[in-house]
Structure 1
């Protein structure tokens, strides 16, 4: 794009716009006035808003509010935007007006100018399609922009995050099955505890992921209903009767997702509790993933001076100074992602609480954080699975050694000889450097045969319930 400009007009006067840009005066004003950092409105949100423009045009034409030719021009231009052909024409920062008005107008202006190019008219002429009168017909930013957040979030979760969570769940399920017979020492308070199997430990990770995925899926039921059709404050002013229902039906057709119209537009426009709830479920997923990543890096710590129960894939050198060092880098990347998502959720919660009366003016922040969290979690889960989980293996020799040396194997003796005697066996074994059986026999509390019958690590690890 050259430095040449053209003169654009809006209700506030004239603005100089880059000559070849498809945006117009209102977009340029936002670029000039909100040059804050480099965080752009997420591309998936732009694409979702373009789908809304398609749906609105179809319904408007059906009601005779725009002509069939105007409808075709809007639909074709919006489809091209939704398919990613004009991403460079949406340069606005997240940190703009809290309603997202300038991004909504960015869409309207680009669609108008694409129509002008198609018709052989000059950019900025608003012929044959006007950004407000035609592209924005029957809409307000106040209903269209949050509807776009809903559409983008449901699409990204349904088509990207949930399939990745399913694959991660399956990867842990494979490990849980394969490791079902490996008896190991459990740990509570980071101290030795009674045995379980490595498969049981992995099954906890599997089910944490499965439960988190179900929570997220349930949260979508609250954001499938759209505010579209509420226009400025929820009344539907300037939209034809039935617009909201018809527009939601068109979005179903365009996206293949089961969107409906919200029964109370006042509720979903004055607040964004559904989006806050979905973000909260992403935070819970991050909490689970952080716990899992921390478990795995603890179990893999070593290789000689730590627990060293797991061998992780060696993907890259771990140190610029220590030769041969390999680190649990996937765990570390996941931990950073999860920490970031937890922070994003805190901001969304504050933003959700920050609305006043009929409108929340933190919409770009909510959309940005929500979509960023979905992307971070999706990509991190993919890398975590492919570069680590699928390739990690148990250190059977180390696990067996730790089982044999554990003092907590004394626990099943408690019902036989009582807690106090069992405790004395453990303490005596530890103080004298003996194994439990030798300590028990020295103290004369049980016979060798009874000890072997009662102290069976595999039986202890068998699920009792």
Structure 2
């Protein structure tokens, strides 16, 4: 292999002659062998979009020669098309507040631009990674801006999948509207309800998660690009300062705006914590739903067995015929992962000092991963579980009629004490609540038919009283 020599303030290193990365990227790769995971592809693309916006703005401000700007822009376009990604060699988690990631982008773009201009890679006297590609920028405004753009990119498919899940729950709520079952509190019999009401509740909480996640996007639109090192906009021409964000907005299609307080936007990362909190809450809700589905579908002979989950794969290597609720299980595991990542993101945001937070790389590593994992979890929950759920109506009816929970409906008519006596006697003797009430002539059959009508008991109390009075 042939090499070229590149130097930085630390010293000189041999770089493969054909490499698009340079000495600073290579040092970053050597210094941070942390996760084995490279920069997220969307993050790389957003770095390129920022560099393109900067080249356009610097050229318009008269600070960057047109031919150099055009070469940088072409290189950036190639990156956003998916080319040159293999030249981004630094680990996703790195020290230096993301300087290695920023310089990796600067060097790749510079070397490809040099090729476009007819020069050799590494011949930075003609076009330099810092002086030209990174003109009027700092790692400290480029990296958080790229992070916010990437969050926006990743949230779109997540919101789409959550909307599909909400619709799937709503469809099941209609399908199961006439299926009567026993509601439970603290895993004990409570009062009757419709199975469709359970699934409507799942749709409702999913809708809140959609709204919560969508609202968190608002803070991602506010960027500190133009603030450079600490928010003071040092080395930034006035025209660039005012035009860089509108240019980026035009390139990305997002309504990004420059923060009013660039110092605040540079040193504080609470917006990312807000997004992570919304993701954690979503994960918690999804896991609760999946716990319900596993319980409702437990069995097939010794569990609740009120619903049937789709059989997706063998459940055991030793027990023939066993089928496990693998889809709800994996969603719950994702919820745990997201909750753990949320703790990391929270502590990393808290760890910022003075005018900069150096821990954005670990925030992005966890945040991007959380969004991607939730997106996959929601997709498989919808397609491989919820849409295929069926109701075991016979089993629901058996458990409902065998339960003493319906005695709660007698409270307004015979009082709590007498209702409790009936419940205890029913449990002891095995005689149903209805039969005991009729035997003791507490209420008439006609009254019982109205009061203990399970379907009516699933409606608001005023509707039931009106039915009794009529």
Name the TM tier (shorter chain): over 0.9
Instruction: Within 5 Å, give how 1:63-82 maps onto structure 2.
Output: 63-82=61-80
Structure 1 spans left out of the alignment, 5+ residues: none
Moved more, 9-18 or 379-388: 9-18
Between stretches 398-407 and 240-249, larger displacement belongs to 240-249
Aligned to 1:97: 95
What's the CA shift for 1:19?
3.0
The CA deviation string for residues 69-127 of structure 1, in whole angstroms up to 9 with x for no partner, is 11111111112112221211112112322410010000000001101222232211125
Residues 1:312 and 2:279 are matched in the alignment:
no
Give 1:130's aligned residue.
128
Q: Secondary structure at the match of 1:222?
A: helix
How far apart in 2 are the matches of 1:290 and 1:138?
A: 46
Deviations 1:349-390 (A, max 9, x none): 000100000000101011111111110111111111111111
> Match of 1:271?
268
Q: What is the DSSP-based 3-state SS (H/G/I as helix, E as strand, rest coil) of the residue aligned with 1:232? A: coil
Q: Runs of 4+ in structure 1 displaced over 3 angstroms?
A: none
CA deviations on 1:41-70 (whole Å, 9 max, x unpaired) are 222111111111111111111101101111
The alignment status of 1:397 with 2:394, answered yes or no, reads yes
- The corresponding residue for 1:44 is 42
Structure 1 counterpart SS, 2:213: helix
- For 1:463 and 1:155, locate their aligned partners in 2 and report how far apart those are by CA, in whole Å: 43
Q: Distance in 2 between matches of 1:98 and 1:337?
A: 30
Aligned match of 1:182: 179
**Preserved contact between residue 98 and residue 360 of structure 1 (Cα < 8 Å):** no
Q: Which residue of structure 2 lines up, in the alignment, with residue 121 of structure 1?
A: 119
Counting only pairs closer than 5 Å after superposition, residues 4-403 of structure 1 correspond to structure 2 as 4-126=2-124, 128-158=126-156, 160-403=157-400
What secondary structure does 1:16 align onto? strand
Counterparts in 2 of 1:98 and 1:441: CA distance versus 1, 3 Å: farther
Residue 116 of structure 1 contacts residue 127 of structure 1 at CA under 8 Å; is this kept in 2?
A: no
Consecutive unaligned residues in structure 2, runs of 5 or more: 463-470
Residue aligned with 1:17, SS: strand
Show the counterpart of 2:467.
Answer: none
CA distance in 2, matches of 1:164, 1:268: 31
Give the TM-score of the pair, scaled to structure 1.
0.97
Match of 2:465 in 1: none
Q: Provide the rounded CA distance (Å) in 2 between the counterparts of 1:245 and 1:379.
A: 39
For residues 119-147 of structure 1, the C-alpha deviation after alignment (integer angstroms, 9 at most, x for no partner) is: 23221112532100000001000010000
TM-score, with length taken from structure 2: 0.96
CA distance in 1, matches of 2:205, 2:311: 26
Match of 2:443 in 1: 446
Rounded Cα–Cα distance in structure 2 between residues aligned with 1:242 and 1:151? 23
C-alpha deviation, 1:225, in angstroms: 0.9
SS of the residue 1:342 aligns to: helix
Query: 2:219 aligns to what SS in structure 1?
Result: coil
Once the 2 structures are TM-superposed, how far is the Cα of residue 406 of structure 1 from its aligned partner? 1.5
CA–CA distance in structure 1, aligned partners of residues 335 and 366 of structure 2: 13
Residue 450 of structure 1: how far off its partner (Å): 2.3
Tell me the distance in 1 between the aligned counterparts of 2:444 and 2:47.
76
For 1:463 and 1:361, the matched residues in 2 are separated by 55
**Which deviates further from its counterpart, 245-254 or 371-380?**
245-254
In 2, the alpha carbon distance for the partners of 1:330 and 1:438 equals 42
Shift of 1:257: 1.4
Contact 2:341 2:366 in 1 (8 A): yes
Task: Please report how far the alpha carbon of residue 295 of structure 1 lies from its aligned counterpart in structure 2 after TM superposition.
Answer: 1.1
User: Which one is further off, 382-391 or 82-91?
Assistant: 82-91
Q: 1:252 and 1:234 mapped to 2: Cα distance?
A: 20
Q: What residue number does 1:414 align with?
A: 411
CA distance in 1, matches of 2:319, 2:149: 49
Q: Would the aligned equivalents of 2:61 and 2:239 in 1 still touch at CA under 8 Å?
A: no
Task: Give the RMSD, CA atoms, in angstroms.
Answer: 1.4
| Separation in structure 2 between the aligned mates of residue 316 and residue 463 of structure 1, nearest angstrom | 41
